[in-house]
Amino acid sequence: MTRRKVVLYQPDCVFHTMPLALLAVGSHADRARFEVVVVDGRLERDPVAAVAAHLDGAVCLGVTVLTGVPIRDALRVSRAARARRPDLPIVWGGWHPSMFGEECLAEPAVDVTVQAQGEETLAEVLLRLEAGASLDGCAGACFRGPDGAPRRNPPRPFRDVNALAPHDYGLICVERYFPLKRRRQLDYVTSQGCRFRCSFCADPFVYGRDWTGLAPARVGEELAALHRRHGFDDVNFQDETFFTRADRVVAIAEELLRRGLRVTWAATMRADQGVRLPEDAWALCRRSGLRRVLIGVESGSDEMLRRILKDITLDQVFACAGRCRRHGIAANLPFIVGFPGESDASVRDTLAVVKRLRAMSPDFQTPIFYFRPYPGSPITEAAVQDGFRLPETLEAWSGFDFVGAAGPWVDAVKFRRVERFKFYQQVAWDRGGPWRWPFQAAARLRLRRDWLGFPVEQMVGRWLRPAPRLS
């Protein structure tokens, strides 16, 4: 039997994480029937031509779509594919279609959208498309009916990831990502979902506060096989909350050591999880290669932490940071300012906490972002009820930048102050040679005295290295 192609596309964007979502759905397609081809727009000089080269005879084009700038490229490639093959079904999946499944179908070049876990949904969509069958009743998908109106099927039950197929990294050239990452780093995910309720996050909306993780033995076996094949020296665990279960984390660390995998690794952690993690578990993780954790702090105000339902305290944050420092583990501790109705006092509290954490270790990073109303989150729904208007078209969503852009709740004075603070706190405790000491001393003095006026150093720095636009 001749296998028909399934073309999967990763839109262009500024980060170089391996396209794990496409590996997930591509690995779950029936390989006896379909040949899966992954095209990454970040690796191609002409992404449209690269996709077009595989469209003849294909059963569909699938695109993973993240809210923001990647939508622009997703539209460009989808429209080009529609022009080349008007009969070709085009399927969008990923975060944006998970939240706006029916709305995405207003775009003529999109025929089907997939919500939440896409592995089994796309596998069923492919079989129905190949057979020319209707998508009525295909759980987890929206589609355009014969009358042109969007139709939403019931959601697909959340599946234990252990029941899903392993990611087939053979669908991509892993080594092509190493130069872009500037290290031989493998992206790998061991779990899906998140059990927490942060009101600024869309995860509870998409996964219903559910979570499922791979068995440690499977993680160890898969990583060992991938290491033999690709020789990576670092693993970036892309889980939403890697440290959800301490016993599982310990078992994964033991797997890495038992198998002699001499790699470093980085993962996500909540402050409360870090506090509950026993000291011997911290030491084990460090011994197995843990080099950095990402701990979302979000705010330096306990009142704001309660309001956004973060369910952590600042005491836990500092205790967790202390453990990182004690065990020689770097930490990325991101913050958000400019929530709807956030007071000036709350912002000042956040900046004060940022200074304390940043001063604890040169291996701590404390990036500050501005709240942007991510669709699907409770705080966004409340903002919309209060009059905030979300973008109404895909083109408008493609200009929705989550980094460097402030919402209407941050005036010009506050924005200017925060931007100056961000610059000086980065310079003040950054690693560097002796030549940087005068600049660091000046930055620390500015922060200590809260003097952020006439930021000539920032103006020169931004001129030499403009901040990128991200999503």
Walk along the chain (471 residues) in steps of 10 and give the mean pLDDT of each run.
Answer: 92 94 97 96 97 97 95 98 97 96 96 97 98 97 93 96 97 97 97 91 84 97 98 97 97 98 98 97 98 98 95 97 98 96 95 96 95 83 88 90 75 93 90 76 89 77 56 45
pLDDT at site 471: 45
* Shared-domain flag, residues 121 and 191: no
* Shared-domain flag, residues 390 and 267: yes
The letter for the amino acid at 303 is E
Residue 192 pairs with which residues in a beta bridge?
Answer: 212
> Residue 355 to residues 323, 331, 364, 445: CA-CA distances in angstroms?
18, 14, 11, 12
Last residue of a domain, one of 119, 152, 185: 152
* Shared-domain flag, residues 178 and 122: no
DSSP 393-414: SHHHHHT---SS---TTS-HHH
* Cα–Cα distance, 441 to 422 (Å, whole number): 16
* Shared-domain flag, residues 292 and 234: yes
* Shared-domain flag, residues 180 and 228: yes
Q: What is the largest CA-CA distance in the chain?
A: 74
* Cα–Cα distance, 162 to 15 (Å, whole number): 28
> Residue 69 to residues 95, 140, 398, 401: CA-CA distances in angstroms?
13, 25, 5, 7
In a domain, 157, yes or no: no
Cβ neighbours around 401 below 10 Å, total? 14
* Cα–Cα distance, 440 to 367 (Å, whole number): 18
* Residues listed for the chain: 471
Work out whether strand 364-365 and strand 234-237 pair parallel, antiparallel, or are unpaired. Answer: unpaired
> Residue 337 to residues 187, 372, 414: CA-CA distances in angstroms?
29, 10, 10
Last residue of a domain, one of 89, 120, 152: 152
* CATH classification of the domain holding 452: 3.80.30.20
In a domain, 207, yes or no: yes
| pTM of this structure | 0.93
* Dihedral sign from CA coordinates of 335, 340, 346, 348: positive
First to last CA, the chain: 42
> By residue range, what is the domain housing residue 225?
166-464
Backbone dihedral region of 306: left (phi > 0), alpha (psi from -120 to 50 degrees) or beta? alpha
* CATH classification of the domain holding 28: 3.40.50.280
* Shared-domain flag, residues 189 and 111: no
Token pair, residue 155, equals 């959601």
Last residue of a domain, one of 130, 152, 174: 152
Quickly tell me which residue has 């909350």 as its tokens.
241
What own/partner pairs with CB < 8 Å and gap ≥ 24 does 109-112 have?
A: 109/75, 109/78, 109/79, 109/81, 109/82, 110/78, 111/143, 111/144, 112/60, 112/141, 112/142, 112/143, 112/144
* Shared-domain flag, residues 421 and 275: yes
* Shared-domain flag, residues 298 and 179: yes
Beta-carbon contacts of residue 255 (< 8 Å; ≥ 6 apart) = 216, 217, 219, 220, 223
* Shared-domain flag, residues 386 and 448: yes
* Shared-domain flag, residues 32 and 54: yes
Token pair, residue 347, equals 């912002």
* Cα–Cα distance, 277 to 280 (Å, whole number): 8
* Shared-domain flag, residues 402 and 295: yes
In a domain, 470, yes or no: no
Token pair, residue 306, equals 């309660």
Residue 3 and residue 34 in contact, taking contact as beta carbons nearer than 8 Å: yes
In a domain, 302, yes or no: yes
Domains of the chain: total? 2
Half-sphere exposure of 238 (CA within 13 A, CB side): 11
Helix 246-258, helix 216-230: angle, nearest 10: 40
In a domain, 158, yes or no: no
* Cα–Cα distance, 462 to 405 (Å, whole number): 16
In a domain, 159, yes or no: no
In a domain, 256, yes or no: yes
Residue 344 and residue 414 in contact, taking contact as beta carbons nearer than 8 Å: yes
Half-sphere exposure of 133 (CA within 13 A, CB side): 11
Find the angle CA(64)-CA(213)-CA(165) to the nearest 5 degrees. 55
* Shared-domain flag, residues 264 and 350: yes
* Dihedral sign from CA coordinates of 187, 193, 195, 197: positive
In a domain, 57, yes or no: yes
